[in-house]
Chains A and B, each alone.
Chain A
Amino acid sequence: MTASYVTRMLRPALLTILGFTVVLVAGCTQPDPALTRGAPFDPYEAENRRMHAFNRSIDRAVLRPAGTGYSKAIPDDIETVIGNFSNNLSLPAAIANSILQGNGKAATEDFYRFLVNTTIGLGGLFDTATDLNMPAENGADFGQTLYVWGVNEGPYLELPLMGPATTRDAVGKAVDIFTNPLSYVVGTPETYYGTAAAVSSRLSARGRYSDAIDSVLYDSADSYAASRSLYLQNRRFKVGKDGSDNYLDPYDTGSASPSDPYGDPYAE
């Protein structure tokens, strides 16, 4: 029984690796099925729903109480400092990805942000760059790089503990974890500070956005469908921010497609 449970839990991870191969080999020239169909592209819905139930139980039992407790126990200013520190450490990877995307502007902006916050901001504890009105953080990741390289979004996935992703972004997340440039520069004990800060800032966010996250996970009629919809909309926005229109023109297809966020509701 345990064995089959583990297999069930691992299946999406295996699918991710499989999906990686599939998107890379087959993906580049075909139209992205996730963007041309009305419904979300979710062929693994049954597995994903099981993973969602698992994630929700973890959230209820561990993350939510820990996040709320953490947020209550730690003063707001300290939470902000830890968040800044963790965020600053994520910049080198973002800069590397901006370079991979050929986005010199984003790479330069994030480089100066990292420089200012690491020096004047005392090792990233303070977000001096924002106080100085420097350009907003671009925060590229490898999932976005894959998008720029023309890899399709692929099927929707719900990952253990990490939650919603598309196949492309699941691959991106895996690559981001193993290729963080910082881990090659910083010694072993110090890398744990970064990990600890990342975990803390995740807990802090769970506590801080408690109402928002609760409303999706516990107040929705179908929390799986709600998180899928919110994730996909937000992720497509982030990934294509500087690109042109991601969406189909509803007038090209003859009717407002439900997958097109900006379909004219008056046209229906």
Chain B
Amino acid sequence: MPNDTSRRTALKTGFAAALIAALPATGAVALTEARAKALVNQVVGDINRVIASGKPLSSMIRDFETIFRKYADVNIIARSTLGADSRRASAAQMRAYTDAFRGYVARKYGKRFNEFAGGKIEVKGVREVKSWHEVTSTVYLRGEAPFEVRFLVSDRSGKDLFFDMVIEGISLRLSERTEIGSMLDRRKGNIDALIADLKTAG
């Protein structure tokens, strides 16, 4: 019997040890899921406030740029839209490109905010995908079927930030990669000319 008891104790201890070992891991995942959702809740809250404010378009564009700057990893989005060409860009070019890109995105997407008048966004769920978290939300617009927007959130920049927005399967990052690629082709691959174009585009 002592053998049995000790085996049971050993089993219990082992189980407890395994549990403790597992705890921080599951704890961390849950925390990140919660954090990812919290980030998107903040983004969505800010966007809903801008939509509801009914401000003139120019000020909505400014508000959108603030949201984009605060919650999105603009560096990684900009780098990713430049694709392989980002490797031959100098540090100074990368900085100038990222700044121009931020303004371009704010103008291009900010001016569409009036289409959202009377609408709202609701955060639905979150799941872990590969090395990031995908937060699903639903957009309700007046007189239209609701549609899905996913925010991809990562902390690999050192902060919790979203690095993509996917609307009904259409990724902002990938679509802009196509667009920036075309703009770069039009300038025969000249990054400085692309940056100059971007400053007035959108």
CA–CA, A59 and B174, complex, Å: 26
CA–CA, A44 and B173, complex, Å: 26
Most buried by B among A130, A212, A266: A266
In chain B, positions 122-174 with a C-beta closer than 8 Å to chain A are 129-132, 143, 145-146, 152, 154, 156-157, 163-164, 166, 168-171, 173-174
In chain A, positions 224-268 with a C-beta closer than 8 Å to chain B are 225-226, 228-230, 233-238, 249-251, 258, 261-262, 264-268
Q: Which residues of A contact B177 (CB under 8 A)?
A: 258
The yes or no answer to A215 lying at the interface (CB within 8 A) is: yes
| A215 touching B108 in the complex, CB below 8 Å, given contacts A262-B130, A265-B80 | yes
**A226 lies within 8 A of B179 (CB):** yes
Choose, from B18-26, B88-96, B180-188, the stretch at the interface.
B180-188
Most buried by B among A234, A238, A264: A264
Q: How far is the CB of B62 from chain A (nearest CB, A)?
A: 19
CA–CA, A266 and B178, complex, Å: 19
Candidates B80, B130, B152; contact of A268 at CB < 8 Å? B80
Query: Would you give the 0/1 interface string for A61-86, flagging 1 where the beta carbon is closer than 8 Å to chain B?
Result: 00000000000000010001000000
A interface, how many residues as a size bin?
20 to 34
The yes or no answer to B118 lying at the interface (CB within 8 A) is: no
Q: How far is the CB of B191 from chain A (nearest CB, A)?
A: 15
Q: How far is the CB of B181 from chain A (nearest CB, A)?
A: 7
**B169 lies within 8 A of A266 (CB):** no
The yes or no answer to B79 lying at the interface (CB within 8 A) is: yes
Count A-B pairs with CB separation below 8 Å.
85
Interface SS majority for chain A: helix
CA–CA, A236 and B166, complex, Å: 13
Q: Chain A: which residue is nearest B132 at the CB level?
A: A264
**A266 lies within 8 A of B131 (CB):** yes
The yes or no answer to A136 lying at the interface (CB within 8 A) is: yes
Q: Chain B: which residue is nearest A256 at the CB level?
A: B80
| A265 touching B77 in the complex, CB below 8 Å, given contacts A80-B143, A211-B112, A233-B169 | yes
Q: Chain A: which residue is nearest B138 at the CB level?
A: A136
The yes or no answer to A190 lying at the interface (CB within 8 A) is: no
The yes or no answer to B115 lying at the interface (CB within 8 A) is: yes
Size of the B side of the interface (Cβ < 8 Å), in residues, is 38
Candidates B130, B157, B166, B175; contact of A226 at CB < 8 Å? B175
The yes or no answer to B189 lying at the interface (CB within 8 A) is: no
| A229 touching B174 in the complex, CB below 8 Å, given contacts A221-B182, A258-B83, A266-B156 | yes
The yes or no answer to B76 lying at the interface (CB within 8 A) is: yes
CA–CA, A229 and B152, complex, Å: 19
Candidates A80, A211, A222, A266; contact of B185 at CB < 8 Å? A222
Q: Which residues of B contact A236 (CB under 8 A)?
A: 169
Candidates A137, A220, A234, A265; contact of B145 at CB < 8 Å? A137
Q: Which residues of B contact A238 (CB under 8 A)?
A: 168-169
**B186 lies within 8 A of A222 (CB):** yes
Q: Which residues of A contact B112 (CB under 8 A)?
A: 211-212
Candidates B111, B130, B179; contact of A264 at CB < 8 Å? B130
**B131 lies within 8 A of A237 (CB):** no
In chain B, positions 45-87 with a C-beta closer than 8 Å to chain A are 76-77, 79-80, 83
10 pairs, A vs B, C-beta closer than 8 Å:
A212-B115, A221-B179, A221-B183, A225-B181, A226-B175, A228-B178, A230-B175, A233-B170, A261-B166, A266-B131
